[in-house]
Amino acid sequence: MGFTADHIPYQDGRTAVVTGANSGIGLETTRELTRNGATVVMACRDDRRGVAAARSIRSEIPVADVRVETCDLASLESIRAFADRVADEPVDVLINNAGTMAIPRRETEDGFETQFGVNHLGHFALTGSLLENLRRAGDTGRKARVVTVSSGLHARGEIDFSDVQGEREYDRWTAYAQSKLANVLFAYELERRLRTEGADVLSTAVHPGYADTNLQFRGIGGRGAWIRTAVRRLSNAVFAQSASKGALPTLYAATSPDVEGGGYYGPGGLLNMRGPPQRQASSDRSYDRKAARRLWDLSRECTGVEYDLPEPKQPST
């Protein structure tokens, strides 16, 4: 049968931070974690939507321990403010879930191309800002976890270091694939640095397969938008799994005792688009340590966030 929500170990005493928790996979992840006793901080860009989502969870799970905090991943200032508000709290699980997909070129308030800025740089800054929270939780004897949600489309991605912000040339799907590859490179590089330190924190990457969420409809506009919307709705109806099933790889990586740091987890069914989660191989580019280190350094320069972690050990030859 494979892993289902019924297999989630009880999470009493554990605190999770979930970005983009007000809808789609983030909402389903929050729902199941609270159902199993976790305290969840819903890190949301839009407070109104976050409060409405929290209310819906409490209506189903009256004992749910959940609260909404503003965290806009398109704003380094908002990320810093969020980290300051939770500075004294241990974070057992950080789920880097929020994202945007295949939108026309825009920029964040800090001047980053939005897909790269939100999907990767925002989560890089947030994770670095919460590193002490994660270490504090790991000191309890149960390893803390960082789960970064990527996409199967990362396999089409390549980090264009000569034009990473898409200033000279921009294609919405190319930019999306680049940001999702950045997620996996980041998750692996973070794991290597955590292992070098000997920290009681592990880092993994996941992908949801083909899940029916509202992410696919953001950014649709312009000429022929109604046709693209209709096609995506039909495709979702025929091929996609539900958001609750799409959340299973995230929930598995966040809670299962079988999860290993540096792993990549996704649906194991048809074309890795649906089915119960399993460990998988990511793209060849995602294992490029030189590119990962270069991306890490670029991310530090862009965000100004420094990680108090040693350089990773080089593989033995």
Catalytic residue positions, numbered? 176
Kindly list the distances between the CA atom of residue 151 and the CA atoms of 12, 119, 249, 272, in Å, as whole numbers in the listed order. Answer: 30, 11, 11, 11
Q: pLDDT value at position 228?
A: 43
Q: pLDDT value at position 314?
A: 76
In tens, the pLDDT along 180-197 reads 999 999 999 999 999 999
Q: State residue 278 phi and psi, 5-degree precision.
A: -150, 165
Q: pLDDT value at position 141?
A: 77
* CA-wise closest residue to 18 among 117, 84, 86, 75: 86
Q: pLDDT value at position 176?
A: 98
Kindly list the distances between the CA atom of residue 88 and the CA atoms of 82, 83, 97, 137, 181, in Å, as whole numbers in the listed order. Answer: 12, 9, 23, 11, 32
> Can you tell me the distance from the alpha carbon of 309 to that of 109, in angstroms, rounded to the nearest whole number?
28
- DSSP helix, strand, coil percent of the chain (3-state; round to 5): 45, 15, 40
- CA gyration radius, the chain: 18
> Can you tell me the distance from the alpha carbon of 263 to that of 281, in angstroms, rounded to the nearest whole number?
8
> Can you tell me the distance from the alpha carbon of 144 to that of 138, in angstroms, rounded to the nearest whole number?
5
Q: pLDDT value at position 313?
A: 77
| Confidence bin at 232 (pLDDT 50/70/90) | very low
**This prediction's pTM:** 0.92
Q: Buried (b) or exposed (e) across 44-67, using 16+ Cβ within 10 A?
A: bbeeebbeebbeebeeeeeebebe
> Can you tell me the distance from the alpha carbon of 272 to that of 287, in angstroms, rounded to the nearest whole number?
19
Taking residues 7-28, report their average pLDDT: 97
Bridge partners of residue 67, in order along the sequence: 41
Range with lowest mean pLDDT among 111-115, 134-138, 235-239, 289-293: 235-239
> Can you tell me the distance from the alpha carbon of 54 to that of 48, in angstroms, rounded to the nearest whole number?
10
Q: State residue 95 phi and psi, 5-degree precision.
A: -110, 105
Kindly list the distances between the CA atom of residue 245 and the CA atoms of 29, 62, 167, in Å, as whole numbers in the listed order. Answer: 10, 23, 37
C-beta of residue 231 within 8 angstroms of C-beta of residue 243: no
> Can you tell me the distance from the alpha carbon of 83 to that of 219, in angstroms, rounded to the nearest whole number?
29
User: Is residue 233 scored above 60 in pLDDT?
Assistant: no
Q: pLDDT value at position 214?
A: 62
In tens, the pLDDT along 31-83 reads 999 999 999 999 999 999 999 999 999 999 999 999 999 999 999 999 999 99
Taking residues 239-251, report their average pLDDT: 88
Kindly list the distances between the CA atom of residue 171 and the CA atoms of 48, 140, 157, 175, 284, in Å, as whole numbers in the listed order. Answer: 32, 46, 12, 6, 22
User: Is residue 280 scored above 70 in pLDDT?
Assistant: yes
* CA-wise closest residue to 95 among 204, 7, 9: 204
Q: What is the DSSP string of 115-133?
A: HIIIIIIIHHHHHHHTHHH
